[in-house]
Structure 1
Amino acid sequence: MNLKSILRTGTLAVLLGTLAACSTWDGMSGREKSAVGGAAIGGAAGAVMSDGGLLGTVGGAAIGGVVGDQVGKHRDKK
């Protein structure tokens, strides 16, 4: 597997995950929506920072999801 195919696979996985989450968007809490948004932004940022590396993309999505979850937790309390 070369780098381009790994990048495409990682990007596709993040995109499909985001689209699947958006299909159930209406039933999600604010905290869940924030986690999905954070994961999408984190995945994109991780891909850019790691030049499309799969580990960077997945790691960015995971970290972004956690940050988004925590931001959403604080928003739900207000």
Structure 2
Amino acid sequence: MLNRNFTKAEFILNNENQYQLEFSIKEIGQGSNLTVERKNENGEYETIQAMITRLNDQIFIKWSEPFDGRLIFEK
């Protein structure tokens, strides 16, 4: 399994008032078996159920607020 860390600063507020991250299929594969983990105040990761959508060759991860975390995926 591979992972990609991300920070709060990478989130963009979309027109639905949700914060989202955008990845291409070239970066993380087809998008199957994605796991989103949020870093808590202790520096540990916890799995969350974020909304994940796909449009063309882009994959979007949406949440109500930006957070530091990581995306775990198979490529």
The TM-score normalised by the length of structure 1 is 0.26
Q: State the structure with bigger RCO (CA 8 A, min sep 6), 1 or 2.
A: 2
Larger of the two Rg values belongs to structure: 1
Q: Which structure's residues are more often strand, by fraction?
A: 2
Question: Which structure carries more helix by proportion?
Answer: 1
TM-score (norm 2): 0.26
